């Protein structure tokens, strides 16, 4: 983790200052679409397209990646959208590490902030419905100094 000036309280883990991560450069595009996430049938869906660029770290070529995440267009969903946008700007959403999916090293991977990559299928499939997801992801963002 690359940092700017921040201190983490050893007792409560609150971040003081600004934490900046080691996420490779990329682009975040946010759109609103007229379909719903399971459990939020009366709401549109916020779509976050994350296009992460190839890079070189310690002489090793890191391949690009593309991810999509979904949020319900509720008041709390819009709050989480704004927090995720700030975390992306501070390079905290991704890091370079071992892929849980493939087991390969030196991949662009999630950095401890869980995303919903499906609009259905439940939490076992990284989707909705998941009644506690928005609360949990806000807690994960808080641990990165995003609140």
The separation between the first and the last C-alpha atoms of the chain, rounded to the nearest angstrom, is 19
pLDDT for 90 equals 97
Residue of 110, 116, 121 whose CA lies nearest to 136 = 116
The CA radius of gyration of the chain, in Å to the nearest whole number, is: 16
CA–CA dist 90, 147 (Å, integer): 13
pLDDT for 103 equals 96
Residues 6+ apart with CB under 8 A from 41: none
- Name the stretches of the chain with pLDDT < 70: 1-4
pTM of the model: 0.93
pLDDT for 14 equals 83
CA–CA dist 37, 134 (Å, integer): 13
C-beta of residue 66 within 8 angstroms of C-beta of residue 28? no
**pLDDT tens digits for range 30-39:** 999 999 999 9
Domains (ranges, CATH) in the chain?
22-143 (3.30.390.130)
């Amino acid at each position: 983790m690359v940092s700017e000036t921040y201190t983490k309280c050893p007792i409560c883990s609150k971040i003081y200052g600004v934490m900046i991560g080691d996420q490779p450069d990329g682009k975040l595009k946010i759109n609103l679409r007229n379909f719903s996430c399971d459990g939020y049938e009366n709401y549109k869906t916020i779509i976050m397209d994350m296009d992460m660029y190839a890079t070189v770290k310690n002489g090793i070529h890191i391949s690009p990646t593309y991810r999509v995440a979904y949020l319900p267009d509720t008041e709390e969903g819009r709050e989480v959208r704004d927090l995720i946008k700030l975390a992306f700007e501070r390079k905290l959403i991704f890091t370079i590490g071992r892929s849980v999916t493939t087991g390969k090293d030196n991949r662009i991977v999630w950095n401890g902030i869980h995303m919903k990559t499906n609009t259905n299928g439940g939490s076992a499939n990284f989707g909705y419905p998941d009644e506690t997801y928005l609360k949990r992801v806000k807690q994960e963002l808080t641990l990165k100094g995003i609140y």
